[in-house]
Amino acid sequence: MAHHKSALKRIRSNETKRLRNKYYHKTTRNAVRKLRGLTDRAEAEKLFPEVCSMLDKLAKRNVIHKNKASNLKSSLTLHINKL
C-alpha cells in the first residue's frame, strides 16, 4: 500500500479514470456493433458520423490506438458501401 499522500491520490484518480475509460470504450463498442448490424443504408449513414466521432475521441484519449480507430472507421465505411 502507498504511504505518500500523492501516491494515494494517484491511486484514487487512476481508478476514476479507468472506470470512465471503460464506460466510454464499452459504449463505443456497442455503437460499432449496432452499426454493423444495420441493414438500412440511410440509417447506417446517419449513425456513421456519431460512431466516427466516438472512435476519434477514444483515440485522442489514448483509450485505443489511433490506427485501431482508423481501421474500424475504414471497415465500417466498407460495410456501409456494401449496403
Q: Residues 2-38: pLDDT tens digits? A: 899 999 999 999 999 999 999 999 999 999 999 999 9
Q: Which pTM does this prediction carry?
A: 0.89
Cβ atoms < 10 Å from Cβ of 45:
12
Closest CA to 41 of 2, 4, 1, 80: 80
